[in-house]
Amino acid sequence: MIFNSASFLLFFAVVLLLYYLVPKKLQWGLLLAASYFFYLYASVKFAVFILFTTTTAYFAANAIGKIQQEMKKTLRERKEEFTRETKKKYKESCKKRQKRILTGTLVSNFGILVFLKFYNFAAINLTAVFALTGSEISIPTMRLILPLGISFYTFQTMGYLIDVYWEKVQPEKSYLKTALFVSYFPQIIEGPISRFGELAPQLFEKKSFDYHRFSTGIQLMIWGFFKKMVIADRFSVIANTVFDNFVDCTGFQVALGIFFYAIQDYTDFSGCIDIARGASEAMGITLAENFDHPYFSRTIPEYWRRWHATLGSWFKDYVFYPISISQCSIKLGKFSKKHFGKQMGKNVPAFFGLAVTWLTTGLWHGSDWNYIGWGVYYGLLIILGILFEPLFQKLNRLLKLKTDHAAWIVVQVLRTFLLTCVGRLIFRANHLSDAAVMMKKMTDLVHLKDYYYPDLWNLGLDHADYMVAFLVLAALFIISFIQEKYHLVIREKLYQLPMLLRWLVLFVGVQMILIFGMYGEGFSQAAFVYMQF
């Protein structure tokens, strides 16, 4: 049941109506029932995996919480009996027990995710390695399923468990409430990846109908449908044509395909998040922001703070920081300080953390060398940016550049966008070798034959669709620019309009989706890109 389907609209309308009709104490129960209906609608087989994650996280969190409570109680009641040394040993013993529970749960849940995603990838590549060495060993592949949203709900749930271990949140005592946090239907497809302390209290609160939040939530959903069905699905036709037939494309067509894919990827993913956030907002629940106009970023680190922010935040808190302060990183830092100087001693632990984080981020997206190459690409960009930052600052001073001048900001934004387009090429190409060929093709951009009109537009859309594509792209840019420059929440501005005018604007928006959306006879309804992750 993908968001851009009639079945979802009917499902959500029924859930929304019942949510405000049932007694308030039953609202969270209705959300749980709706979430499992939504999930089982995709496949009953998937339920085994989400139930395993829910069950292991529930019992592990409460077991860790029980040890923490017992430790505090013992230290309080037997305060006089403990010496400094025995107190330290007792704490270490309790921590080890907690760590064993945490480690076992993390290994089992991430182990399932890794096996489902990477077994066939590993089997194929190991067989190829054996063949190169002359061995006839062949590792068989398996027909494995990848449950809906498994990467998202696994990360979200394991983040909750780690927060319990770090004593940032208290373990949830109710199994059913834990199940709702894991399976909450608006975010199960593509996120955002929520934190327990931010989302769970909202899920369990009693909610009264709030017309303001209902109105702004529906507006956000309409905007999400517009981005997905009018922009992303239209641009995907060109992007798919180019990436699937790049051998026959000119360099300019390849460049155009990468540009259109960059827009498709953003509007598809952010459109899905807008629908999820809007649906939640209509029910009085606020999900985390996941996108903040990333294509206005001036640097790559800034871009990743604005793009898929909840995933970046998850990796920062649960991978980068723990690795950067680990014993291994500390030893690397000391070694680097001794042999390469004080500054490298400071940087190397961060570089090690960044390298592992970005490699893991690439692997999170899928089992292909493209994703590994994509992770390595961004990791190197960020590490090189840190290394050369002093040189860049020195050049700015020597050239007396006004770094806050509008022209320089535009240059930085364009530079960052082009770097992300290279990342998009690595990410989207069918193989890494294809990405290299496509990159080489773009070196022929200077050839005038690339601009030959019939060839340029022969990418799957007719002239009318191209006209719509560029008009909606201009509209997207203008709206995003206004939001970025003036920090406006356009939904709130719309809400301040007279009711008749406000609903007229929404009606026009819906009509534009119905008229210009890519759906119906002759068009294969496109699932959201990140559902596969």
Handedness of CA 248, 253, 258, 263 (dihedral sign): negative
Q: Tell me, yes or no, whether 36 lies in a domain.
A: yes
Same domain, 23 and 108: yes
So what's the pLDDT on residue 455?
Answer: 55
Higher pLDDT, 273 or 402: 273
Provide mean pLDDT across the span 84-91. Answer: 88
For residue 405, report the phi and psi dihedrals to the nearest 5 degrees. -75, 145
Does the pLDDT of residue 452 top 70, yes or no? no
Range of the domain at 155: 6-206
Lowest mean pLDDT among 120-129, 240-249, 437-446, 496-505: 437-446
So what's the pLDDT on residue 446?
Answer: 56
So what's the pLDDT on residue 533?
Answer: 55
| Among candidate residues 164, 184, 206, the one where a domain is terminated | 206
Same domain, 53 and 191: yes
Provide mean pLDDT across the span 44-54. Answer: 93
Lowest mean pLDDT among 199-208, 337-346, 516-525: 516-525
User: For residue 504, how many other CB atoms are within 10 A of its CB?
Assistant: 12
Q: Tell me, yes or no, whether 444 lies in a domain.
A: no
Same domain, 475 and 496: yes
- pLDDT tens track for 147-192: 888 999 999 999 999 999 999 999 999 999 999 999 999 999 888 9
With H, G, I as helix, E, B as strand and everything else as coil, classify residue 169.
coil
Provide mean pLDDT across the span 290-301. Answer: 94
Q: Tell me, yes or no, whether 105 lies in a domain.
A: yes
Which is nearest to 72 in space by CA: 196, 173, 170?
170
So what's the pLDDT on residue 486?
Answer: 81
Tokens 């770090």: give the residue: 166
Does the pLDDT of residue 440 top 80, yes or no? yes
DSSP 129: H
Band (pLDDT 50/70/90 cuts) for residue 449 is low
Same domain, 53 and 181: yes
Does the pLDDT of residue 507 top 80, yes or no? yes
User: How many Å apart are CA 50 and CA 56, to the nearest integer?
Assistant: 10
Does the pLDDT of residue 119 top 60, yes or no? yes
So what's the pLDDT on residue 43?
Answer: 84
Which is nearest to 226 in space by CA: 170, 270, 292?
270
- How many domains in the chain? 3
DSSP 524: P
Kindly write down the DSSP assignment for every residue of 316-335, as one continuous string. Answer: IIIIIHHHHTSHHHHHHHHH
Same domain, 60 and 40: yes
Same domain, 104 and 236: no
User: How many Å apart are CA 29 and CA 376, to the nearest integer?
Assistant: 44
Same domain, 129 and 20: yes
User: How many Å apart are CA 330 and CA 353, to the nearest integer?
Assistant: 11
Q: Tell me, yes or no, whether 38 lies in a domain.
A: yes
| Among candidate residues 167, 186, 206, the one where a domain is terminated | 206
- Cα angle 371-528-262, degrees, rounded to a multiple of 5: 55
Q: Tell me, yes or no, whether 116 lies in a domain.
A: yes
Q: Tell me, yes or no, whether 503 lies in a domain.
A: yes
So what's the pLDDT on residue 402?
Answer: 82
The answer to whether 273 touches 192, Cβ cutoff 8 Å, is yes
Does the pLDDT of residue 14 top 80, yes or no? yes
User: How many Å apart are CA 54 and CA 334, to the nearest integer?
Assistant: 41
